[in-house]
Amino acid sequence: MLNKARLLTPGPTAIPDEVRLALAQPMIHHRKAAFHSLMADCQEKLQTLFGTKQPVLPLSCSGTGAMTAAVYSLFAPGDKVLVIDAGKFGERWGNICRARGLEVVTLSVEWGLAASPEDVEQMLHDEPGIKGVFVQLSETSTGVLHPVEDIAAKVAGTDALLIVDGVSGVSLSPCPMDAWGIDCLVTGSQKGLMLPPGMAFLALSERAWERCLPDPGCFYFNLPAERKKLEKGETNFTSPVNLIQGLKVSLDMLLQDGLEAHFHKQWALTQLVRRSVRAMGLNPFVTRNYAWGLTSVLIPDGIDGIKVVKDCADNHGVFLAGGQDFLKGRIVRLAHMGWADWSDLLAGLYALQRSIIDNGGFSGSHDFLEQGMASYRAAMEGETGKEPLDPHD
Ligand SMILES: *Cc1c(COP(=O)(O)O)cnc(C)c1O
């Protein structure tokens, strides 16, 4: 293979050399001093990343493990909860809650749209006794960014806890846990954090800690026990030592110029991709409330999106993700998470355009590079969250 492989998938994502070298360090023992200081260093930075004063627990599992830990620790069978379901990952919250024996009320949102805070408020009003509200920060199956801050404001006055799956959102767009009033925030290692898969992170608010069940009904995920060990700089069971060595370096890199600067870059990359896609005569699947780490692109009718994804990999070394469920073949998901920069994205966008043309598709203008980069520069110079003026939109 002559091409450099570019992983533009929504997890796992590319890993910087600095992190890969850190992963290769000699093993250290997880109950000795060197590890304790490594954990202390990471803890402070994880709290900055989560925007919380609460401990951020590192867990040895994928993101779904942390989701499971949250459900089992905070809710007992029979509890009534509200799940916001706008795609595959919203559906997953529902599945985990049902596995725990919870009574699940679902707020179904059309795929590609974000949840409305007013609808959440209405559901909480119509369904008395709801003990928890579950949502994604970014719904990875569509590329939607839910308005978590506004949803949190609606949940705040009620008895319900707000549990946020930030696996594809934390470190990509703002989600300050304490300031927004989130009761539980989880994320994973393999998306915005520029690490291999295998680790997840979870933090609880003060009131969520108070509601933690003494018996979560499973032996492995015991959050109060994890918290106690974390005070000593340890985890309850054997730690994923080398992942934590890598984590220290990835957090140093992410926070190097401050979190705001990092979000700003993510915002600008999103503008680059959206503008380029439009310049090609294609459309982003999500038109409003879009994520800052992932853009879904609608594939023109008559073209097989699965073939397009395969051709991008086979012919250009660019790895994209297809659509899930009924969006299979109809969208292509291009992630711009973590270590992806403008040049990776230009390569990815070129591969996408070329593959669509090769599969008989209409192509728009070929100057997506100029237009995309103009948007990127304007977004870098402008304000985060404010779309640069775009006569073509
Ligand atoms: C990737 C992802 C997860 C976790 O998936 P794992 O395979 O368990 O790591 C959960 N939620 C969202 C929104 C995701 O994007």
Looking up tokens 């009924």 gives 326
What is the position in ligand 1's atom list of the atom closest to the CA of 188? 9
pLDDT given at position 3: 76
Number of the ligand 1 atom closest to the C-alpha atom of 67:
10
Q: 86 — alpha (psi -120 to 50), left (phi > 0) or beta?
A: alpha
Quick check: CB of 353 below 6 Å from ligand 1? no
Structure tokens that stand for 328 in this block? 């299979």
348 CB less than 6 Å from ligand 1? no
In testing the pocket of ligand 1, which one of 167, 186, 243, 337 has its CB within 8 Å of the most ligand atoms?
Answer: 167
Report the alpha-carbon distance of residue 334 to residue 273 in Å, rounded.
9
**Is the CB of 63 inside a 6 Å radius of any atom of ligand 1?**
yes
For ligand 1, the distance from its centroid to the CA atom of residue 281, given in whole angstroms, is 31
CA angle 108–94–217, rounded 5-degree value: 160
pLDDT given for residue 229 in this prediction: 98
Distance CA 148, CA 152 (A): 6
Q: List the structure tokens of 343.
A: 């040049």
For the record, the structure tokens of 366 come out as 């070929």
Ligand 1: nearest atom to the Cα of 139: 13
Going by alpha carbons, the residue nearest to atom 4 of ligand 1 is 63
Does residue 324 line the site of ligand 1, with CB under 6 A? no
Structure tokens at 7: 């992983």
pLDDT tens sequence for the chain (393 residues): 567 899 999 999 999 999 999 999 999 999 999 999 999 999 999 999 999 999 999 999 999 999 999 999 999 999 999 999 999 999 999 999 999 999 999 999 999 999 999 999 999 999 999 999 999 999 999 999 999 999 999 999 899 999 999 999 999 999 999 999 999 999 999 999 999 999 999 999 999 999 999 889 899 999 999 999 999 999 999 999 999 999 999 999 999 999 999 999 999 999 999 999 999 999 999 999 999 999 999 999 999 999 999 999 999 999 999 999 999 999 999 999 989 999 999 999 999 999 999 998 876 666 888 899 999 999 999 988 888 865 444
Say yes or no: CB of residue 142 within 6 Å of ligand 1.
Answer: no
In the reported structure, the alpha carbon of residue 382 is separated from the centroid of ligand 1 by a whole-number distance in angstroms of: 31
State whether residue 333 is helix, strand or coil.
Answer: strand
Using alpha carbons only, how large is the chain's radius of gyration in Å?
Answer: 21
Query: How confident is the model at residue 80, as a pLDDT?
Result: 98
pLDDT of residue 322: 97
Query: Is residue 90 within 6 Å of ligand 1 at its C-beta?
Result: no
Q: Say how many Å lie between the CA of residue 385 and the centre of ligand 1.
A: 24
pLDDT value of residue 20? 98
8 Å CB contact between 366 and 270: no
Determine contact, residues 266/380, Cβ cutoff 8 Å: no
User: Is-contact 96 235, C-beta < 8 A?
Assistant: no
pLDDT value, residue 387:
85
The pTM for the full model equals: 0.96
Work out the end-to-end distance of the chain between its first and last CA atoms, rounded to an integer number of angstroms: 38
d(CA 64, CA 390): 38
- How many angstroms does the Cα of residue 242 sit away from the middle of ligand 1? 21
- Atom 2 in ligand 1: residue holding the nearest Cα: 167
Three-class secondary structure of residue 252 per DSSP: helix
DSSP code for 205: -
| Three-state secondary structure call for residue 327 | helix
Q: Which 3-state string (H, E, C) describes 259-312?
A: HHHHHHHHHHHHHHHHHHHHHCCCEECCCCCECCCEEEEECCCCCCHHHHHHHH
At CA 190, angle to CA 187 and CA 193, rounded to 5? 70
**Sequence-ordered alpha helix ranges (H) in the chain:** 17-23, 33-50, 63-74, 88-99, 117-126, 148-156, 177-180, 206-211, 223-230, 241-255, 259-279, 305-316, 342-358, 368-381
Cα–ligand 1 centroid distance for 63 (angstroms)? 5
Contacts 24+ apart (CB under 8 A), 297-302: 297/331, 297/332, 297/333, 297/334, 297/352, 298/330, 298/331, 299/329, 299/330, 299/331, 299/332, 299/356, 299/361, 300/356, 300/361, 300/362, 302/360, 302/361
Q: Is the CB of 12 under 6 A from ligand 1?
A: no
| Residues shown for the chain | 393
Tell me the C-alpha distance between 33 and 256, whole Å.
26
CA distance 168 to 173: 9
Q: Which of 88, 140, 202 to mutate to test the pocket of ligand 1 (most atoms within 8 A of CB)?
A: 140
Q: Whose CA is nearest to atom 5 of ligand 1?
A: 63
Instruction: Please give the Cα distance from 295 to 323 (Å, whole number).
Output: 11
56: nearest Cα among 175, 215, 218, 213: 175
